[in-house]
Structure 1
Amino acid sequence: MKVVDLKETRVFEGDIKKFWLHDSPYFRIINFNIKAGKTFPVHSHQVEGQLSILVLEGEGEFLGEGDKAIPARAGEMLICDISEPHGVRARTDMRILVTIAPPF
Protein backbone atom coordinates (compact mmCIF):
# COMPACT_ATOMS: atom_id res chain seq x y z
CA MET A 1 0.00 0.00 0.00
CA LYS A 2 1.01 3.58 -0.53
CA VAL A 3 -0.30 6.83 0.95
CA VAL A 4 0.16 10.14 -0.87
CA ASP A 5 -0.47 13.43 0.93
CA LEU A 6 -1.63 15.93 -1.70
CA LYS A 7 -0.98 18.82 0.70
CA GLU A 8 2.73 18.18 0.10
CA THR A 9 2.34 18.83 -3.64
CA ARG A 10 0.57 22.18 -3.26
CA VAL A 11 3.51 24.02 -4.81
CA PHE A 12 3.26 26.64 -7.55
CA GLU A 13 6.71 27.23 -9.08
CA GLY A 14 6.94 28.49 -12.63
CA ASP A 15 3.95 28.21 -14.97
CA ILE A 16 3.29 24.49 -14.45
CA LYS A 17 4.64 22.24 -11.70
CA LYS A 18 4.51 18.45 -12.20
CA PHE A 19 4.52 15.77 -9.48
CA TRP A 20 4.61 12.05 -10.34
CA LEU A 21 2.51 10.43 -7.62
CA HIS A 22 2.41 6.89 -9.02
CA ASP A 23 3.86 5.14 -12.06
CA SER A 24 3.26 1.44 -12.66
CA PRO A 25 2.32 -0.89 -15.52
CA TYR A 26 -1.30 -0.61 -14.31
CA PHE A 27 -1.87 3.13 -14.07
CA ARG A 28 -0.19 6.47 -13.65
CA ILE A 29 -1.16 9.39 -11.45
CA ILE A 30 0.30 12.87 -11.98
CA ASN A 31 -0.48 16.12 -10.14
CA PHE A 32 -0.05 19.30 -12.18
CA ASN A 33 -0.25 22.75 -10.56
CA ILE A 34 -0.97 25.47 -13.12
CA LYS A 35 -0.55 29.18 -12.40
CA ALA A 36 -3.50 31.50 -13.10
CA GLY A 37 -3.60 32.57 -16.75
CA LYS A 38 -1.42 29.69 -17.95
CA THR A 39 -2.36 26.81 -20.25
CA PHE A 40 -1.42 23.15 -20.17
CA PRO A 41 -1.32 22.80 -23.96
CA VAL A 42 -3.79 20.69 -25.91
CA HIS A 43 -2.09 17.46 -26.95
CA SER A 44 -2.81 13.78 -27.54
CA HIS A 45 -0.94 10.49 -27.42
CA GLN A 46 -1.24 7.98 -30.23
CA VAL A 47 -1.74 4.99 -27.94
CA GLU A 48 -4.75 3.14 -26.59
CA GLY A 49 -6.06 3.81 -23.11
CA GLN A 50 -8.02 6.41 -21.23
CA LEU A 51 -7.30 9.27 -18.88
CA SER A 52 -9.11 11.38 -16.35
CA ILE A 53 -8.40 14.96 -15.30
CA LEU A 54 -9.80 15.85 -11.87
CA VAL A 55 -9.75 19.47 -10.75
CA LEU A 56 -8.53 19.46 -7.14
CA GLU A 57 -8.49 23.22 -6.69
CA GLY A 58 -9.22 26.36 -8.68
CA GLU A 59 -11.15 27.16 -11.84
CA GLY A 60 -10.47 27.11 -15.53
CA GLU A 61 -11.40 25.15 -18.62
CA PHE A 62 -10.88 21.68 -20.00
CA LEU A 63 -9.62 22.13 -23.57
CA GLY A 64 -10.18 19.94 -26.61
CA GLU A 65 -9.61 19.89 -30.34
CA GLY A 66 -10.07 23.21 -32.11
CA ASP A 67 -11.47 25.87 -29.82
CA LYS A 68 -13.41 23.46 -27.61
CA ALA A 69 -13.47 24.69 -23.99
CA ILE A 70 -15.55 23.26 -21.15
CA PRO A 71 -15.75 25.07 -17.78
CA ALA A 72 -13.81 23.23 -15.06
CA ARG A 73 -14.08 23.77 -11.29
CA ALA A 74 -12.86 21.95 -8.20
CA GLY A 75 -14.50 18.54 -7.97
CA GLU A 76 -15.16 18.21 -11.71
CA MET A 77 -13.56 15.54 -13.87
CA LEU A 78 -12.94 15.09 -17.59
CA ILE A 79 -12.66 11.52 -18.91
CA CYS A 80 -11.48 10.76 -22.45
CA ASP A 81 -9.40 8.46 -24.61
CA ILE A 82 -5.68 9.26 -24.48
CA SER A 83 -5.74 9.73 -28.27
CA GLU A 84 -8.37 12.51 -27.97
CA PRO A 85 -6.85 16.02 -27.80
CA HIS A 86 -6.94 17.36 -24.21
CA GLY A 87 -5.53 20.25 -22.20
CA VAL A 88 -6.37 22.70 -19.41
CA ARG A 89 -6.42 26.49 -19.10
CA ALA A 90 -6.31 27.98 -15.58
CA ARG A 91 -8.30 31.10 -14.70
CA THR A 92 -7.11 30.91 -11.09
CA ASP A 93 -4.21 28.93 -9.66
CA MET A 94 -5.35 25.42 -10.44
CA ARG A 95 -4.39 21.92 -9.33
CA ILE A 96 -5.32 18.90 -11.42
CA LEU A 97 -4.88 15.19 -10.88
CA VAL A 98 -4.33 13.19 -14.08
CA THR A 99 -4.87 9.42 -14.03
CA ILE A 100 -3.83 7.37 -17.05
CA ALA A 101 -5.05 3.80 -17.55
CA PRO A 102 -3.23 1.27 -19.72
CA PRO A 103 -2.21 0.09 -22.09
CA PHE A 104 0.76 2.45 -22.34
Structure 2
Amino acid sequence: MKVFNLDETRVFDKALNKFLVHDSPYFRIINFNIKAGEEFPVHSHSVEGELSILVLEGEGYFLGAEGAKTPAKAGDIFICAINEPHGVEAKTDMRILVAIAPPL
Protein backbone atom coordinates (compact mmCIF):
# COMPACT_ATOMS: atom_id res chain seq x y z
CA MET A 1 0.00 0.00 0.00
CA LYS A 2 1.12 3.53 -0.75
CA VAL A 3 -0.20 6.80 0.67
CA PHE A 4 0.66 10.10 -0.99
CA ASN A 5 -0.22 13.45 0.60
CA LEU A 6 -1.28 15.77 -2.23
CA ASP A 7 -1.19 18.77 0.12
CA GLU A 8 2.62 18.51 -0.04
CA THR A 9 2.53 19.23 -3.79
CA ARG A 10 0.40 22.39 -3.56
CA VAL A 11 3.06 24.56 -5.22
CA PHE A 12 2.48 27.37 -7.74
CA ASP A 13 5.97 28.88 -8.10
CA LYS A 14 6.01 28.64 -11.91
CA ALA A 15 3.50 28.36 -14.76
CA LEU A 16 3.28 24.56 -14.51
CA ASN A 17 4.44 22.35 -11.67
CA LYS A 18 4.50 18.58 -12.18
CA PHE A 19 4.69 15.96 -9.40
CA LEU A 20 4.79 12.21 -10.03
CA VAL A 21 2.38 10.57 -7.58
CA HIS A 22 2.58 6.95 -8.78
CA ASP A 23 4.32 5.03 -11.55
CA SER A 24 3.90 1.35 -12.36
CA PRO A 25 3.60 -0.86 -15.45
CA TYR A 26 -0.21 -0.54 -15.11
CA PHE A 27 -0.82 3.18 -14.65
CA ARG A 28 0.78 6.52 -13.86
CA ILE A 29 -0.65 9.35 -11.75
CA ILE A 30 0.68 12.90 -12.03
CA ASN A 31 -0.34 16.05 -10.12
CA PHE A 32 -0.07 19.22 -12.23
CA ASN A 33 -0.49 22.68 -10.69
CA ILE A 34 -1.28 25.39 -13.23
CA LYS A 35 -1.17 29.10 -12.43
CA ALA A 36 -4.18 31.27 -13.28
CA GLY A 37 -4.12 32.29 -16.93
CA GLU A 38 -1.75 29.47 -17.93
CA GLU A 39 -2.48 26.43 -20.06
CA PHE A 40 -1.52 22.77 -20.15
CA PRO A 41 -1.52 22.72 -23.97
CA VAL A 42 -3.77 20.50 -26.06
CA HIS A 43 -1.86 17.40 -27.12
CA SER A 44 -2.35 13.68 -27.77
CA HIS A 45 -0.25 10.53 -27.78
CA SER A 46 -0.19 7.95 -30.57
CA VAL A 47 -0.79 4.95 -28.32
CA GLU A 48 -3.85 3.08 -27.11
CA GLY A 49 -5.14 3.55 -23.60
CA GLU A 50 -7.15 5.99 -21.51
CA LEU A 51 -6.57 8.92 -19.23
CA SER A 52 -8.50 10.91 -16.71
CA ILE A 53 -8.04 14.49 -15.54
CA LEU A 54 -9.56 15.23 -12.13
CA VAL A 55 -9.78 18.85 -10.97
CA LEU A 56 -8.63 18.94 -7.35
CA GLU A 57 -8.82 22.70 -6.88
CA GLY A 58 -9.64 25.81 -8.88
CA GLU A 59 -11.57 26.55 -12.05
CA GLY A 60 -10.83 26.55 -15.73
CA TYR A 61 -11.55 24.53 -18.84
CA PHE A 62 -10.95 21.07 -20.22
CA LEU A 63 -9.60 21.56 -23.75
CA GLY A 64 -10.12 19.27 -26.71
CA ALA A 65 -9.93 18.97 -30.48
CA GLU A 66 -10.88 21.86 -32.75
CA GLY A 67 -10.93 24.44 -29.94
CA ALA A 68 -13.40 22.55 -27.73
CA LYS A 69 -13.54 24.17 -24.28
CA THR A 70 -15.61 22.68 -21.44
CA PRO A 71 -15.91 24.45 -18.06
CA ALA A 72 -14.13 22.58 -15.26
CA LYS A 73 -14.17 23.06 -11.48
CA ALA A 74 -13.06 21.15 -8.39
CA GLY A 75 -14.59 17.67 -8.44
CA ASP A 76 -15.04 17.49 -12.23
CA ILE A 77 -13.34 14.66 -14.11
CA PHE A 78 -12.53 14.40 -17.82
CA ILE A 79 -11.99 10.93 -19.32
CA CYS A 80 -10.78 10.20 -22.84
CA ALA A 81 -8.62 7.97 -25.00
CA ILE A 82 -4.91 8.83 -24.81
CA ASN A 83 -4.87 9.47 -28.56
CA GLU A 84 -7.70 12.03 -28.26
CA PRO A 85 -6.57 15.69 -28.02
CA HIS A 86 -6.70 16.93 -24.42
CA GLY A 87 -5.48 19.85 -22.33
CA VAL A 88 -6.44 22.25 -19.53
CA GLU A 89 -6.67 26.03 -19.22
CA ALA A 90 -6.62 27.57 -15.73
CA LYS A 91 -8.95 30.48 -14.95
CA THR A 92 -7.77 30.47 -11.32
CA ASP A 93 -4.80 28.62 -9.84
CA MET A 94 -5.76 25.06 -10.67
CA ARG A 95 -4.61 21.64 -9.47
CA ILE A 96 -5.31 18.56 -11.55
CA LEU A 97 -4.62 14.88 -11.04
CA VAL A 98 -3.95 12.96 -14.28
CA ALA A 99 -4.15 9.15 -14.39
CA ILE A 100 -2.82 7.38 -17.49
CA ALA A 101 -3.29 3.68 -18.29
CA PRO A 102 -1.13 2.17 -19.53
CA PRO A 103 1.56 4.66 -18.52
CA LEU A 104 3.45 6.63 -21.16
How far has the Cα of 1:103 moved from its partner? Answer: 6.5
Unaligned runs of 5+ in 1: none
Contact 2:61 2:70 in 1 (8 A): yes
Cα distance in 1, alignment partners of residues 58 and 98 from structure 2: 15
Q: CA deviation at 1:83?
A: 0.1
What CA distance in whole angstroms lies between the structure 1 residues aligned with 2:54 and 2:84? 16
Match of 1:90 in 2: 90
Could you tell me the TM-score, scaled by structure 1's length?
0.98
In the aligned structure 2, how far is the partner of 1:19 from the partner of 1:102?
18
Where do 5+ consecutive residues of structure 2 fail to align?
A: none
Structure 1 consecutive aligned stretches of length 4 or more whose deviation exceeds 3 Å = none
State the percentage of identical aligned residues. 70
Distance in 1 (CA, whole Å) between partners of 2:21 and 2:59 is 22
- In the superposition, the TM-score normalised over structure 2's length comes to 0.98
Report the number of matched residues. 104
> 1:7 maps to what in 2?
7
Q: RMSD in angstroms over aligned alpha carbons?
A: 0.9
Shift of 1:13: 1.6
